[in-house]
Chains A and B, each alone.
Chain A
Amino acid sequence: MRYLPLTTDDRRAMLGRIGAPDVDTLFRDVPKSALIPLSAIDLPDTQGELEVERAMSKLAAKNVAAGAAPFFCGAGAYKHHVPSAVDHLIQRSEFLTSYTPYQPEIAQGTLQYLFEFQTQVALLTGMEVANASLYDGSTATAEAVLMAQRITKRGKAILSGGLHPHYAETVETVASLAGAVSRSPVTPGSAEDIISLIDEETACVVVQSPDVFGLIRNLRPIADAAHAKGALLVAVVTEVVSLGLLEPPGAQGADIVAAEGQSIGNGLNFGGPYVGLFATREKFLRQMPGRLCGETVDVEGRRGYVLTLSTREQHIRREKATSNICTNSGLCCLAFTIHLSLLGEEGLTRLARINHAKASALADKLVSVPGVEVLTSAFFNEFTVKLPKPAAPVVEALAAKGVIAGVPASRLLPRDKGCDNLLILAVTETNTDDDFDALVGALKEIL
């Protein structure tokens, strides 16, 4: 087996030093009945690299890659161009095959990029501090609600109807243990009245902008109303490129920002691994979940970085920790931070404007398709259209014609009848005029 360096002779010599006649002697604590023979395992035997690559390539070929068709899916995962340098750098052995920087003297590479990442996330979201990443946007949102429950010592969480339904379900699954989690009704293409739901028992309101239908929300009035009742505003961003063009949540009064960072640096990967961004105000620092990297000096006075404030964390505090999280999204946050370094202020701003301009262009073209109505008036790179018939079969029919048309709202909200005819479309810098023509042409044929 090509990955195993020990030879039969090595194994024999090693058993000799141990003083064991065979390797099964080393498994002597295992109850005899539980030790199985190889023949009991109904799985294939070892294969060479060529054979494995062939088998895996066959599986990959059964999928339609986003880059292989005019492609408009978003709803929490976005197809962006990732510069070649990003993937090259994250595959450097020293990044790829190291672990959590438990030994800071020989992990300054990881620690310094985490420190830079935290700074970038804080700047982008307009917040004071950010952590070194969580698993993804949905779990970051759940952690944000738990954190708000801890800070306010209240249980109730109100989720906007515009919050990605998968995020809402993730929050409900964990945060309902500590209090009532309720969802405001879905109002595709317009903002709901969430303010009237906030009361003195509310720990937080959770509002996504742009929301799952693409609508840009004004968070300021919600923040003010929440604060007036002693509640917090958790702002959620699933398309982080939008922050290159839109007012950041921190400037609108958000107390905690939970975001999905996939759009910068990371591929679609069928839903994961992604990278959860998590930022807050300095005064809430000690209630934050996840790892934090901090600046310090070594014994010679040289600047260096360490994991810090770990008394919040599970390996020190055990059952009193702020979260059970251990592994984060190290390599995905490296990809994020490299891509964002390549973009810089000017690149990100331009990228965001291109996304918005292209999405606007498609929205204008779709208006020309009879029976299609654009519901979202203010959007970044994603908007919702109403079709004259249910969207799910339309999307399947378009897929058969080689156009991946977007996400039917009914896939996310299957029991909301008002969503049946709604299609959520995302447009990025990767889309071309030809893509638009293909979509518009195919839609005209099918509708």
Chain B
Amino acid sequence: MSMNNQGRPSSVDQISVDKGDAGEAFPASIATISGDRGLDHEEALIFELGHGAVGVDLADVNVGEARLGGMRRKAAIGLPGLSEPEVIRHYVRLSRKNYAIDSGLYPLGSCTMKHNPRLNEKVARLPGFGDLHPLAPQSTTQGALELISQLMNWLTTLTGMPAVAMSPKAGAHGELCGLLAIRAAIAARGETRPRILVPQSAHGTNPATAAFAGFTVDEVPAKPNGHVDAAALKAKLGPDVAAIMLTNPNTCGLFEGEIIDIAKAVHEAGAYFYCDGANFNAIAGKVRPGDLGIDAMHINLHKTFSTPHGGGGPGAGPVVLSERLAAFAPVPLLVADDKGLRLIEDMEAVPQGAKPFGRMCAFHGQMGMFTRALTYMLSHGRDGVRQASEDAVLSANYILASLKDVMSAPYGDGPCMHEALFDDSFLEGTGVTTLDFAKAMIDEGYHPMTMYFPLVVHGAMLIEPTESESKASLDRFIHVLRTLALEARAGKTQRFAGAPHLAPRRRLDETAAARKPVLRWKPDPVPVAAE
């Protein structure tokens, strides 16, 4: 089928005859004149829509050269011009091509796609927060500092840890902060410890961060039951080990029951215990990481505390720190004195005993996420936070119990935490892969679960329903997944081949995208390779 450059069929007669072999189970498309289909509009790139209009009313002011140092721009930028209604229509049409929590269950394991309360959005936009400059005189920002201080209290209380560094901008940035604090603590002891132990099941960010922070990564295997191999871990401990990075609950959705024992061994070896807090939503208000012997843990405010995921950010990754690491927290530090709260931004003017390792970023962290997270916490309260964790765990177990007879749950003998892990052995011999299964879920109106992660099981499918789903929603989801699994196993695989059929796009050619990258629009379009 040939296409014009807006992705629409170029002519009506070409569309109805084009049937992929994968599409046989579905009625042939009814061609439309526009190429749009009901509520599903094709949308060109903004650069193709521009026509010299302007979406703002600003005065045309002339400026002289006197103060530009001879550096005035010589060439045009090349930006398209559109009016406000055109811009709004463009982005509204784009938005409708996205799946979202607000429109359906989003069971992406390890991502905690829970409800995002709108009060949090409203609060973040109060002028006293949203329109506050980070370097405004501190006497005019006391409310903001008080908010940060309250949030710090919530985070340290819920985790049972004495200190928290607020500035990291996302989970991976928090990991880096934690490892740099560990590096500084080791250096302060006059030691060098180049090695970090990371379990096989860890998120990719863990080994990446360890390498980023200048450590070598040593992988620890998982046991057949999905837990980290504590004996193998202990055997790897030694005077050259700086830390272990363990996720708990782990990425198989299991609580590492030997964690206190592991922490003890780690500390006896002179190393530190970094915990990836991505899965804190399973245990907030139930278990305090500080009671487990953890030295540092980042908290993804965009997961556990519901700041919106926003299509991939912004996040926020404050790091709670144990007594052994607290002194090494990066600037800025928040202190209280007779004049109120104060940010200490100068590394050489810190209170006695503080030895900050450096600075993670400009200014003071993701304040817009802090306002939302604190609003979430105040709304839930300690009882609501605890209930949310219990409901998240209950919902995941309900899914596990309802699916494990038709899908294969490698660790399904016992309860899971807030996510249920399946592998692809139930699809063996069906010709259907994890990818096909996930893509068929799209046709059923669901976002797929996390696929092919963790790496410790074959064809992993990691389902995290969160506490935000009603029982009716869970039941419907279970019904769909059971039916898909039963159909696949019964050889009724038509719907899986080449799925999705009913999304704004069908499977996209990722190989071509990577082989010959087209990463921006260019004024003279190169024809898309039509083979």
* Bound complex: CA A248 to CA B357 (Å): 35
Q: Could you mark each residue 26-45 of chain A with 1 if its beta carbon is under 8 Å from any beta carbon of chain B, else 0?
A: 11111101111010011111
CB distance from B53 to the nearest CB of A (A): 7
Closest to B183 in A: A177
16 additional A-B residue pairs with CB within 8 Å, beyond A272-B169, A315-B203, A353-B61: A5-B473, A10-B471, A29-B255, A60-B126, A89-B92, A95-B91, A106-B98, A115-B521, A123-B77, A172-B359, A251-B75, A302-B7, A319-B208, A328-B314, A356-B67, A395-B137
* Residue from the set A4, A245, A272, A396 with the largest chain B CB neighbour count within 10 Å: A272
Stretch at the interface among B114-122, B229-237, B480-488: B114-122
* Bound complex: CA A178 to CA B95 (Å): 42
* Bound complex: CA A318 to CA B128 (Å): 41
Q: Could you mark each residue 12-28 of chain B with 1 if its beta carbon is under 8 Å from any beta carbon of chain A, else 0?
A: 00000010101000000
Partner of B308, one of A96, A285, A299, A305: A96
Contact A246 B68 (CB under 8 A): yes
**B366 in contact (CB, < 8 A):** yes
Q: Could you mark each residue 235-278 of chain A with 1 if its beta carbon is under 8 Å from any beta carbon of chain B, else 0?
A: 00000000111111001000000001000000111111101000
Judged by DSSP, the binding face of B is loop
Contact B211 A296 (CB under 8 A): no
Contact B204 A314 (CB under 8 A): yes
The total of Cβ contacts below 8 Å across the A-B interface reads: 728
Q: In A197-256, which residues have CB < 8 Å from any B CB?
A: 209, 215-216, 218, 243-248, 251
Partner of B380, one of A1, A303, A399: A1
**A129 in contact (CB, < 8 A):** yes
**A182 in contact (CB, < 8 A):** no
CB distance from A393 to the nearest CB of B (A): 10
From known contacts A77-B135, A292-B519, infer whether A53 and B97 are also in contact, taking CB-CB under 8 Å: no
Contact A63 B212 (CB under 8 A): no
Stretch at the interface among A153-161, A337-345, A365-373, A436-444: A337-345
Contact A94 B53 (CB under 8 A): no
CB distance from A367 to the nearest CB of B (A): 13
* Bound complex: CA A85 to CA B106 (Å): 27
A–B Cβ pairs within 8 angstroms, 15 of them: A59-B147, A79-B131, A99-B108, A108-B94, A173-B357, A216-B69, A270-B364, A273-B169, A273-B316, A303-B3, A308-B513, A308-B517, A331-B308, A343-B55, A404-B137
Contact A34 B98 (CB under 8 A): no
Q: In B511-531, which residues have CB < 8 Å from any A CB?
A: 512-514, 517-521, 528, 530
Contact A298 B113 (CB under 8 A): no
* Bound complex: CA A348 to CA B78 (Å): 11
Contact A66 B133 (CB under 8 A): yes
From known contacts A75-B135, A106-B98, A309-B517, infer whether A297 and B512 are also in contact, taking CB-CB under 8 Å: yes
Contact B132 A65 (CB under 8 A): yes
Contact B313 A109 (CB under 8 A): no
**B39 in contact (CB, < 8 A):** no
Which residues of B have CB within 8 Å of A315? 203-205, 453
Which residues of B have CB within 8 Å of A260? 362
Contact B362 A344 (CB under 8 A): no
* Bound complex: CA A137 to CA B208 (Å): 21
Which residues of B have CB within 8 Å of A340? 79
Contact B467 A344 (CB under 8 A): no
Contact A296 B508 (CB under 8 A): yes
Closest to B330 in A: A173
How many positions in chain B have a CB within 8 Å of any CB in the partner chain?
219
Q: A interface, how many residues as a size bin?
A: 35 or more
**A46 in contact (CB, < 8 A):** yes
Contact B362 A166 (CB under 8 A): yes
From known contacts A105-B508, A269-B130, A399-B139, infer whether A83 and B98 are also in contact, taking CB-CB under 8 Å: no
Partner of A328, one of B5, B134, B312: B312
* Bound complex: CA A57 to CA B131 (Å): 14
**A418 in contact (CB, < 8 A):** no
* Bound complex: CA A412 to CA B363 (Å): 10
* Bound complex: CA A68 to CA B368 (Å): 19
**B207 in contact (CB, < 8 A):** yes
**A194 in contact (CB, < 8 A):** no
Which residues of B have CB within 8 Å of A10? 470-471
**A185 in contact (CB, < 8 A):** no
* Bound complex: CA A178 to CA B503 (Å): 46
* Bound complex: CA A22 to CA B516 (Å): 55
From known contacts A89-B88, A341-B80, infer whether A76 and B363 are also in contact, taking CB-CB under 8 Å: yes
* Residue from the set B92, B311, B345, B395 with the largest chain A CB neighbour count within 10 Å: B311
* Bound complex: CA A7 to CA B467 (Å): 12
Which residues of A have CB within 8 Å of B520? 115, 118-119, 122, 129-130
* Bound complex: CA A123 to CA B400 (Å): 50
Contact B311 A41 (CB under 8 A): no
Contact A327 B394 (CB under 8 A): no
Contact B58 A17 (CB under 8 A): no
From known contacts A38-B382, A99-B106, A123-B78, infer whether A326 and B170 are also in contact, taking CB-CB under 8 Å: yes
From known contacts A4-B467, A105-B500, A108-B504, infer whether A272 and B365 are also in contact, taking CB-CB under 8 Å: yes
CB distance from B405 to the nearest CB of A (A): 12
Which residues of A have CB within 8 Å of B335? none
Contact B313 A332 (CB under 8 A): yes
Contact A71 B59 (CB under 8 A): no
Which residues of B have CB within 8 Å of A63? 128-129, 132, 140-144
Stretch at the interface among B44-52, B266-274, B318-326, B424-432: B44-52
Contact A377 B71 (CB under 8 A): no
Contact A45 B212 (CB under 8 A): no
**A386 in contact (CB, < 8 A):** no
From known contacts A56-B123, A123-B78, infer whether A303 and B470 are also in contact, taking CB-CB under 8 Å: no
**A151 in contact (CB, < 8 A):** no
**A104 in contact (CB, < 8 A):** yes
CB distance from B274 to the nearest CB of A (A): 13
Partner of B447, one of A15, A66, A103, A120: A103
CB distance from B171 to the nearest CB of A (A): 7
**A101 in contact (CB, < 8 A):** yes
Q: Could you mark each residue 415-447 of chain A with 1 if its beta carbon is under 8 Å from any beta carbon of chain B, else 0?
A: 100000000000001000000000000000000
From known contacts A60-B129, A135-B361, infer whether A6 and B391 are also in contact, taking CB-CB under 8 Å: yes
Q: Which 10 A-B pairs have the closest CB atoms?
A: A271-B363, A378-B69, A62-B143, A60-B128, A173-B358, A331-B310, A271-B134, A273-B314, A342-B55, A93-B102
Contact B96 A94 (CB under 8 A): yes
**A411 in contact (CB, < 8 A):** yes
CB distance from A42 to the nearest CB of B (A): 6
* Bound complex: CA A41 to CA B81 (Å): 55
Contact B55 A94 (CB under 8 A): no
Contact B208 A323 (CB under 8 A): yes
Contact B528 A30 (CB under 8 A): no
**B43 in contact (CB, < 8 A):** yes
**B367 in contact (CB, < 8 A):** yes
Partner of A292, one of B108, B157, B415, B517: B517
Contact B312 A101 (CB under 8 A): yes
**A321 in contact (CB, < 8 A):** yes
Contact A112 B312 (CB under 8 A): no
Closest to A57 in B: B126
Contact B448 A4 (CB under 8 A): no
Which residues of B have CB within 8 Å of A317? 204, 208
**A301 in contact (CB, < 8 A):** yes
* Bound complex: CA A124 to CA B75 (Å): 11
* Residue from the set A108, A285, A377, A395 with the largest chain B CB neighbour count within 10 Å: A108
